[in-house]
Structure 1
Amino acid sequence: MNQETSDIIFTTASTDSHFEQILNLQKQNHYSSVAEDQHQSNGFVYASHTLGLLRKMASGIPQVIALSGDRVVGYNLAMTGDMKNELPSLIPMFEEFEKWEYKGRALMDYQFVVGGQVCVDKEFRGRGMISRLYQQTRDTVDDIYQLCVTEISVRNLTSLKAHERMGFESIGTYNDGVENWNLVVWDWHRLR
């Protein structure tokens, strides 16, 4: 059953309860927990974080959550490039960033936020929450950032379509030896 979003508060994760609920929602929607025949219709998340890593990420850049009462029903994790080695599964993504261009410039010449992962509880999907989570992230971070850059599994068409609807552009694909990935960019510079 879908819930209206009028009772949802978008804020930043600030307590261990918030971080633990993010981890629980992540676990429920991890590709290994979602039946493969549901990947296309429900989407999935790929990386697995820890409480310590979420705390560290939050110390560098706000981690946006959607709350229904005191329940985390969505989140948008973000990080900066200096966290490249913190999550081994993301190292290939950071290495790819060094190879790509956006609008004729090396991607690394831009100031950008890395979209670490976005997820919405099943009960709250279909209400534009991914867009609202990303908008809150953009509104919360420093104006120095020009782009939000992330990767989306080629198999995760649900996520790719949601990101494209809100303005992310695909700049290419690559394979990290395990999975095929779309590299996508949301140009914040032109929105400010």
Structure 2
Amino acid sequence: MIYYKQASSDQELEQILSLQQKNLIKSLSHEEQEKEGFVTVEHSLEILKAMNDECGHIIAVENGDVVGYALCMHPIFGDSIEVLRPMFAEINKVMPEKNNYIVMGQICVAKSHRGKGIFRNLYLTMKNRLPEGFDAIITEVDGKNKRSLTAHAAVGFKTLKVYKSGGKNWHLIILE
């Protein structure tokens, strides 16, 4: 049985990193990227822990193993990961007065568990566990990641803006 919770141990954080490594764009063939989707950002255990201490990452667990995750990234980490700095700059442009959001820093479901509603349930759990005073989840998706764009639209994300950074078209999206 799969259950959803906030990450609470180093072992769970290490399992997140292991799942991330298997799904990084650099770890997948072009065909796998198109069919399965991919993740872009590679986190260190140190930053993952700091982010988790501020707002617990949401994980899907089966038999003690992390089979999916949605990383919670409080806006105070806007300068912490180089590749995400442009996203925070764009958020500030389109929503200069809004600061009651959490960034979903990355979402991933193990290949063996895709198509079982885990993606949707990770977001539902994240939405229900937002810190007090927060009312939106913002993230961005690489325009080439069609599987992820479709999945995000299916759970209710709306496009705030499409912008270019690092030679890629990024879709900045929000779930309120």
For normalisation by structure 2, the TM-score amounts to 0.96
1:91 aligned onto 2:91: no
- Per mean C-alpha deviation after superposition, the further-off stretch among 153-162 and 134-143 is 134-143
Distance 1:157 1:108 in 2: 30
Q: 1:135: which partner in 2? A: 124
| Amino acid in structure 2 at the alignment position of 1:150 | T
Describe the superposition over 1:105-133 as per-residue Cα deviations: whole angstroms up to 9, x where unpaired: x3542410101000000010001111100
Between the aligned residues of both structures, percent identity stands at 33
**Alignment-derived partner of residue 18 in structure 2:** 24
Structure 2 segments unaligned to the other structure (5+ residues): none
Residue equivalent to 2:27: 33
For residues 156 and 34 of structure 2, the distance between their equivalents in structure 1, rounded to whole angstroms, comes to: 21
Taking only aligned residues, the RMSD between alpha carbons, in angstroms, comes to 1.1
Instruction: Give CA-to-partner distance per residue, 1:42-66, whole Å, 9 cap, x none.
Output: 0000001011111100111010111
Letter in 1 for 2:104: G
The change in CA–CA distance for 1:40 and 1:56 in structure 2 (over 3 A counts) is same
- What one-letter code is carried by the residue in structure 1 that aligns with 2:21? K
Larger CA deviation: 136-145 vs 112-121: 136-145
In structure 1, which of residues 152, 162, 168 is the aligned counterpart of residue 151 of structure 2? 162
What secondary structure sits across from 2:17 in the alignment? helix
TM-score (norm 1): 0.88
Further displaced range: 169-178 or 73-82: 169-178
Aligned mates of 2:132, 2:164 — CA distance in 1? 32
Contact 1:152 1:183 in 2 (8 A): yes
1:137, distance to aligned residue in structure 2 (A): 1.0
Secondary structure of the 2:27 match is coil
Shift of 1:155: 0.2
Corresponding residue number in structure 2 for 1:56: 50
Q: Is the CA contact 1:110–1:146 (under 8 Å) kept in the aligned structure 2? A: no
Gaps in structure 1 of 5+ consecutive residues: 1-6, 101-105, 188-192
> Does the aligned pair in 2 maintain the 1:77–1:116 contact within 8 Å?
yes
Report the alpha carbon displacement of residue 179 of structure 1 after superposing the two structures with TM: 1.6
Distance 1:143 1:160 in 2: 28
Check if 1:126 corresponds to 2:120: no
Match of 1:44 in 2: 38
* Residue pair 1:175, 1:181 contacting (<8 A) in 2 also: yes
Which piece of structure 1 moves more, 151-160 or 132-141? Answer: 132-141
- Going from structure 1 to structure 2, the CA distance change for 1:107 and 1:42 (only over 3 Å counts) comes to farther
* Aligned equivalents of 2:60, 2:102: Cα separation in 1: 19
Checking the alignment, whether the CA contact within 8 Å between 1:84 and 1:94 is kept in structure 2 is yes
